[in-house]
């Protein structure tokens, strides 16, 4: 092996990820969707009761914890982009807070950053959807705030469908791709341009292909949209990654 061969094998991009301590799904999803030349480097953020129901008040408290240490640790790893891997943490506070929080991440990290909530909106817009069906494992109040976030961002929510019981953090991340599939089909609306599945600790990415085949429209999930936004910032072509669905492949999009 010569020097050129060695140089060609160097990893070219590093993604930094801040993830809630109990979240066990965003990292596997990122590995599933990451190109070969992209590596994932995560820091866990805790300080919450994993057995409690993650309601709006808890999400607002969680996101307002000091992020300085989390970001500094990722800055030490010389990451190229930074992701905040909890959708509901900023969905619950509205687009203005989400944008200011993202700006603060970029200031601290000294590199481009995105939140899962902001990426979700960007993903919906990218597939050309103006009217969507929405589903998530959130409690009803948090789902209502999430719907309000989408509508304040210019996206009409035709149907909001959730579980019939409140789930704590551990119960949410124990849900299966079949749960995501069933909930998406139940949420679908004939006039919806896309189905939106929110929550980074939900195994929805693995169900994207099957859902899109069943409803014949794009599916946008938190982790898929977050990775798409990061790859866009890195200038990487996502189209060869079939697990990312139509958002990645651009097949069958209206524009």
CATH code: domain of residue 128? 3.40.50.12500
Contact 215, 191 (CB under 8 A): no
pLDDT score of 252 more than 80: no
Residue 255 lies in a domain: no
DSSP string over 34-70 = --TTEEEEEEEE--S-TTS---HHHHHHHHTS--HHH
Q: Above pLDDT 70, what percent of the chain?
A: 87
- At 255 the pLDDT is 47
Task: Give the pLDDT band of residue 64 (cuts 50, 70, 90).
Answer: low
Are 29 and 173 in contact, with CB atoms under 8 Å apart? no
Q: Is residue 97 a part of any domain in this protein?
A: yes
For the stretch 161-172, pLDDT in tens is 999 999 888 898
Which domain does 163 fall in, by range? Answer: 3-249
- What is this structure's pTM? 0.90
Which tens digit of pLDDT belongs to each residue from 172-221?
Answer: 889 999 999 999 999 999 999 999 999 999 999 999 999 999 999 999 99
Number of domains in the chain: 1
In a domain, 254, yes or no: no
User: Given a cut of 50, is residue 89 above it in pLDDT?
Assistant: yes
């Amino acid at each position: 092996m010569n020097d050129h061969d060695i140089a060609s094998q160097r990893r070219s991009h590093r993604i930094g990820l801040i993830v809630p301590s109990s979240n066990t799904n965003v990292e596997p999803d990122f590995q599933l969707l990451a190109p070969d030349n992209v590596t994932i480097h995560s820091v866990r953020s805790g300080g919450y009761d994993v057995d409690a129901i993650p309601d709006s008040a808890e999400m607002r408290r969680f996101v307002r914890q000091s992020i300085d240490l989390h970001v500094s640790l990722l800055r030490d790893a010389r990451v190229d982009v930074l992701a905040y891997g909890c959708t509901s943490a900023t969905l619950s506070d509205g687009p203005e807070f989400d944008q200011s929080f993202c700006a603060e991440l970029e200031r601290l990290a000294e590199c481009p950053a995105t939140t899962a909530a902001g990426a979700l909106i960007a993903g919906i817009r990218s597939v050309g959807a103006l009217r969507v069906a929405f589903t998530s494992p959130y409690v009803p109040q948090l789902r209502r705030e999430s719907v309000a976030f989408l509508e304040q961002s210019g996206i009409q929510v035709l149907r909001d469908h959730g579980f019939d019981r409140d789930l704590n953090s551990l119960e949410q991340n124990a849900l299966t791709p079949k749960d995501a599939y069933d909930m998406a089909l139940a949420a679908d609306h004939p006039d919806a341009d896309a189905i939106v599945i929110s929550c980074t600790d939900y195994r929805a990415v693995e169900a994207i292909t099957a859902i899109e085949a069943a409803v014949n429209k794009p599916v946008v999930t938190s982790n898929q949209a977050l990775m798409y936004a990061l790859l866009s910032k890195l200038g990487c072509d996502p189209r060869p990654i079939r697990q990312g669905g139509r958002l990645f492949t651009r097949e069958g999009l209206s524009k």
